[in-house]
Amino acid sequence: MKEYGRIGQKRWEGQFAEEFLPELSGMRGIKVYQEMEKNDDTVGAVMFAIKMLIRQVKWRTDPGGNTEKDAEAARFIESCMNDMQNTWTDTVSEILSFLVYGWSFHEIVYKRRNGKSKNPHASSKYSDGLIGWQKIPPRAQDTLFRWEYDSADNLIGMTQQPPPDYGLLTIPISKAMLFRTESVKDNPEGRSILRNAYRPWYFKRRIQEIEAIGIERDLAGLPVLYAAQDVDIWDDSDQDLVKINSSLISMVKNIRRNEYEGLVLPHGYKAELLSTGGARQFDTNAIINRYDNKIAQTVLADFIMLGHEKTGSFALSSDKTELFSSALGAFLDVICETFNNQGIPRLIDMNGAYFDGITDYPSLAHGDVDKRDLTKLSTLLRDMVGVGILIPDEDLEDYVREAANLPERSRFGENRVKDKTRENQRRAPEKTADRPEVTPEDNAGKMEEARKRLGRS
C-alpha cells in the first residue's frame, strides 16, 4: 500500500509554476484572462454563447437505487438545490468561471432546515430539521494566496487574501468543491479554455492599437514643427536648448485634433501637418479577422463567424454547432462529477442515520445543451416502431413530449381513459347464471329447428 513516487508538480510554497510563459503564470495570468474575457469582442461573444446555452439546461437528480429511500434521497438533494440563498442558475453561473481561469473554488455553507425565519441566511422552505445547503459561494481566483498540501502531495485547502482587509483565510478542501477544466499533474489550477487563444489575442490587440494610431494620423495628419533658423535645438551643451528641445518634442506628441487643438509658437517657429502619401501595404482588417477566427477556433466556436464574410452553408453551421454543444456537455459533466464526488456524499453523510439504508448516493445529472432535431427523431422512432424494435409506452411518450417541448401528460387525460375503459366493460354483456354462455352448437341447433318450422308452413 506504500506510495514511493511523487507527481512532480512544480510547486513552491503553495505557488505553481507549470506555465512556461511568465505573463500567464500566477496572478499575472489571472489578470490577462480577465482582460481577455472582459475587453475582447470575440472572446466576449464566445463566453456569452457558452453561458446562455448552459443557463437554459435542465438539471435533475437521479436516485442511487430502486428503493423508496433512494428516491427520497434524490428528492432531498433536489430540494437543497432550490432552497439556497442564491438561485441554482446563479450558482452555476459562478461555477462557470472555471472555464476562463481553468479552476473555480467554492466553499460549501450549510444550514439547518427549520422553516421560515427572519434571518434570511437561515430561512428555509422546509422544516424537516435536516441539514441543507445555505449557499455555495465562489472564492475568487484573484484572491488566491497559496494552495495547501500535505507531505504526500494531497491538496488539503486553499488560502486566500481577499479584500477589504486582505487577511489570510484558509478553507479546507473537505468543506469546498474544486472545479477545473482538466487535470495535468493534478494541478488544482487546471487550464483555461482561453490558453490557446492568448497568442492570436496578443497580436490582434497590438495591431488594433497600431491601426487606431495610424487612422488618427491619417485623419489628423503628421505634425511637424520647425525651429527658428538661428536656434540649434540639438545642441546638448546648452541646457536651455535641451529644455526647449524637450518641450517641442512633447508638444508634437500631444497634438490632437479636438476641442483643445492649437499651438502658441514664438517668432521664427513653424508647425504644419503632413498628409499620408497613399494606401498601406497590409490590410489590417483582414489580419484582425484572421485572428478573430483563430480565437474562436480554439474553443470550437468558429460557427459564430459564419455568414459574416458571406460564406458558410447551413449544413456546415449545423455540424459546427453540434460539435460545440458536445464540448459544452463535457464541461457540464465536470460540474456533475464534482458535485457527485465532493458535494452530495458529504451532505448525505451529514444527515446521519436519516438516509441509512440507501443503495448508493444520489447523483446530479444535466439535460441536453441543444435542442434535438425533431425531424431526425421522428424518422428514427417511425422506423424503430415499424420494425418492432420499439414498443410505444408511457416512458417513450414522456421522452417525445420533452424533446418536442410539449406539455406533460395530465392526470385528467389518464383518468378519462380509465373511465372510458370502465364504461365499455359495464356495457359488455355479463356472464351470469341467468344468462348462460351461448355455444356454436346451440346456434346450429336453433338454425335447424327454424328450417323445420319453415318447411311445415
CA distance 272 to 360: 82
Q: Rounded to a whole number, what is the largest CA-CA distance in the chain?
A: 157
CA 417 to chain centre: 43
pLDDT grade, residue 431 (50/70/90)?
very low
pLDDT above 70 for 308 = no
What pLDDT sits at residue 207? 93
State the cell numbers at 284: 489590417
pLDDT above 80 for 114 = yes
Q: Please compute the mean of the pLDDT values over residues 171-177 and round it to a whole number.
A: 96
Amino acid identity at 400 = V
Question: In percent, how much of the chain has pLDDT > 70?
Answer: 84
pLDDT grade, residue 170 (50/70/90)?
very high
CA distance 132 to 249: 68
One DSSP character per residue, 344-383 reads HHHHHHHTGGGGTT-SS--EEEE--SS---HHHHHHHHHH
CA distance 58 to 377: 20
What pLDDT sits at residue 265? 81
| Ramachandran angles phi, psi of 250, nearest 5° | -65, -35
Question: In percent, how much of the chain has pLDDT > 90?
Answer: 49
pLDDT above 70 for 276 = no
pLDDT grade, residue 24 (50/70/90)?
very high
Higher pLDDT among residues 119 and 417, named by residue: 119
Instruction: With beta carbons less than 8 A apart as the criterion, state whether 147 and 14 touch.
Output: yes
pLDDT grade, residue 15 (50/70/90)?
very high
The pLDDT tens digits for 143-164 are 999 999 998 899 999 999 999 9
pTM of full prediction above 0.85: no
State the cell numbers at 259: 476641442
Burial 430-441 (b: 16+ CB within 10 A, else e): eeeeeeeeeeee
Measured distance between the N- and C-terminal CA atoms of the chain, rounded to whole angstroms: 107
Provide the 10 A C-beta neighbour count for residue 343.
19
Residue with cell 470575440: 42
Higher pLDDT among residues 185 and 235, named by residue: 185
Instruction: Tell me which of 269-273, 333-337, 424-428 is least confident.
Output: 424-428
pLDDT grade, residue 178 (50/70/90)?
very high
CA distance 235 to 129: 87
What pLDDT sits at residue 389? 85
Residue with cell 424503430: 384
State the cell numbers at 3: 506510495
The pLDDT tens digits for 52-98 are 999 889 999 999 999 999 999 999 999 999 999 999 999 999 999 99
What pLDDT sits at residue 433? 45
What pLDDT sits at residue 314? 46
Higher pLDDT among residues 455 and 170, named by residue: 170
Between CA 359 and CA 94, with CA 133 as vertex, the angle to 5 degrees is 110
Instruction: With beta carbons less than 8 A apart as the criterion, state whether 153 and 169 touch.
Output: no
What pLDDT sits at residue 432? 43
Provide the 10 A C-beta neighbour count for residue 276.
12
Amino acid identity at 411 = R
Domains of the chain, by residue range, sit at: 11-194+313-366, 198-293, 373-457
Instruction: Tell me which of 15-29, 36-50, 437-451 is least confident.
Output: 437-451
Average of per-residue pLDDT values in the chain:
84
Exposed / middle / buried, residue 203 (Cβ in 10 Å: 0-12, 13-18, 19+): middle
Higher pLDDT among residues 67 and 283, named by residue: 67
Q: Please compute the mean of the pLDDT values over residues 320-348 and round it to a whole number.
A: 92
Instruction: With beta carbons less than 8 A apart as the criterion, state whether 192 and 181 touch.
Output: yes
pLDDT above 90 for 361 = yes
The pLDDT tens digits for 104-113 are 999 999 999 9
What pLDDT sits at residue 335? 96
